[in-house]
Amino acid sequence: MTAAQFMSSDDIRAAFSAAMSAMYRTEVPAYGTLLSLVAEVNARTLAKEPALRASLAATGTLDRVSEERHGAIRLGTDAELAMMRRVFAVMGMVPVGYYDLSEAGVPVHSTAFRPVGESALRQNPFRVFTSLLRLDLIEDAALREEVRETLAGRRIFSDAAIVLVEKAEAEGGLDAGDATRFIAEVLDTFRWHEQASVDRGLYARFHDAHRLVADVVSFKGPHINHLTPRTLDIDAVQGMMPGHGIAPKAVIEGPPARNCPILLRQTSFKALEESVSFPDADGSFHVGSHTARFGEIEQRGIALTPRGRALYDRLLNEARSHVRPAPDGSNADAYRAALEAAFEGFPDNWDEIRRRGLGYFTYRPGDADGRALVDGDDLEAMVAAGIIRFDPIVYEDFLPVSAAGIFQSNLGDGAGQEFVASPNQKRFEQALGATVLNEFDHYAGIEKASIARCMARLETAGSLG
């Protein structure tokens, strides 16, 4: 079969993202309400901010905003993670970044599977934040062994899904028919299961160790636990949620509201308490409940350089050293005030962020004629003269403290557990069967390539020299 007969990985990813969104809207109706609120706010924001619309249009990202989603799953074993990597590879998604959530009391470490090329991101920027349970953080040795035995007995992928992944790897892709079957088979991996795979007593022991342990281990598969649309004004959506029957978490995770958004801000509604049946030894079932799935929204800002990220981390730690947000939101106002005060130390002007090397930008020809410029390769001079324009590069990744904050708020008040931060990227990559892409190198490469393209276009147009 020739490459021309294969369905592109971008098209497979777009179709899978749409199918997952439709499934989750059916399973969690409040997610559909969130989509409507986000669409309303985004349309209003674009109408009110023509400069934002122009920047999104110039960078080819205007159309993708309304289609943008990220999901999250939690896996239990190395084998599940390794196979998940192969599944996402069929959709053109690679692991980017390593996240240690133990620093915030969550016994997992994670990566984000996502597309990385500019064209792929424009077509469909679907991401899946994927966490692996860390058995080494379960102190009770007997319980740790029960977790291991329980997980060893499950298979989260169908035989057909595995066969199709192997076919894609062997042949270099899937045709439209196989891609459609692949999407249907893999979608079942993420589907909600109302029947637990462990009895109520064992579930309770997992739950007492950590609610996330119970969620990862007690079911047939890694049900999608949230799906997230992107908004251009998260504060507006947060304010509208209560009026539509949705109670948001008290604090928006990430940096405070700014004129020039940085990194990532996230909020969510609290996880649903859902009916679950637990099997008994005699084959009967007892009805109980489980809390895990929720709805989330995000607002994405500029990707920060290592220097910018160091400043961000310092200011965030400064705010949290004064007020640490309580899981129940009881000190939300005090935390917001501390956050806003701390982040007065981060410039809120695109050109200052750029000149101080705090964020990544793409560059494109401006309207001014550069022929009068003496030094035709001086980027700063050309920016100042209007020969070259710049646009912020959208942050495509995640923040460990914010992710942990979302996890904790949706696992229930008081669900936190203290762990000593213990990042182990090498161990994670061994389980993954691959290295994760360094996000800073990736963004720096995009910026550098945009400068080269911009200079080439200006030279071709004869506007330099």
pLDDT in tens, 149-201: 999 989 999 999 999 999 999 999 999 999 999 999 999 999 998 898 999 99
In the structure, what pLDDT confidence band is assigned to residue 273 with cuts at 50, 70 and 90? Answer: confident
Q: Distance between CA atoms of 125 and 114, rounded to whole angstroms?
A: 7
What digits encode the pLDDT tens for the residues 330-372? 888 899 999 999 999 999 999 999 999 999 999 999 887 655 5
Helix axes 425-432, 78-90, angle to 10 degrees: 60
pLDDT at 402: 58
What is 43-95 written as a DSSP string? HHHHHH-HHHHHHHHHTT-HHHHHH-EEEEEEE-SHHHHHHHHHHHHHTT-EE
> Given the structure tokens 């459609």, which residue do they identify?
180
Phi, psi of 278, rounded to the nearest 5 degrees? -110, 130
Six-digit token string for 120 = 């792929």
Give the contacts of 376 (CB within 8 A, at least 6 positions apart): 370, 382, 464, 465
pLDDT at 413: 44
Report which listed range, 17-21, 81-85, 317-321, 335-339, is most confident: 81-85
CATH topology of domain 3-300+396-434: 2,3-Dihydroxybiphenyl 1,2-Dioxygenase; domain 1 (3.10.180)
Q: Distance between CA atoms of 461 and 198, rounded to whole angstroms?
A: 68
What digits encode the pLDDT tens for the residues 410-430? 555 444 444 445 678 999 999
Q: Domain extents for the chain?
A: 3-300+396-434
What digits encode the pLDDT tens for the residues 42-98? 889 889 988 888 878 877 777 777 666 788 999 999 999 999 999 999 999 999 999
Q: β-strand 295-300 against 264-269: which pairing, if any?
A: antiparallel
Give 212 or 68, the one with higher predicted confidence: 212
Is residue 389 a contact partner of residue 363, using CB atoms and an 8 Å limit? yes
Mean pLDDT across the stretch 203-209? Answer: 90
The burial of 62, by beta-carbon neighbours within 10 Å (0-12 exposed, 13-18 middle, 19 or more buried), is given as: middle
pLDDT at 370: 58
In the structure, what pLDDT confidence band is assigned to residue 464 with cuts at 50, 70 and 90? Answer: low
* Closest alpha carbon to 53 in 125, 45, 229: 45
pLDDT at 2: 61
Q: Distance between CA atoms of 283 and 225, rounded to whole angstroms?
A: 28
Mean pLDDT across the stretch 284-302? Answer: 85
Give 25 or 81, the one with higher predicted confidence: 81
3-state helix, strand, coil in the chain (%, to 5): 50, 15, 30
What digits encode the pLDDT tens for the residues 99-132? 988 876 788 999 999 999 888 888 888 999 999 9
Q: β-strand 361-365 against 69-75: which pairing, if any?
A: unpaired
What digits encode the pLDDT tens for the residues 221-231? 999 888 888 88
Report which listed range, 23-32, 183-192, 216-225, 382-391, is most confident: 183-192
pLDDT at 155: 94
pLDDT at 395: 93
Q: How far apart, in Å, are the Cα atoms of 384 and each of 368, 387, 389, 463?
A: 10, 8, 9, 16
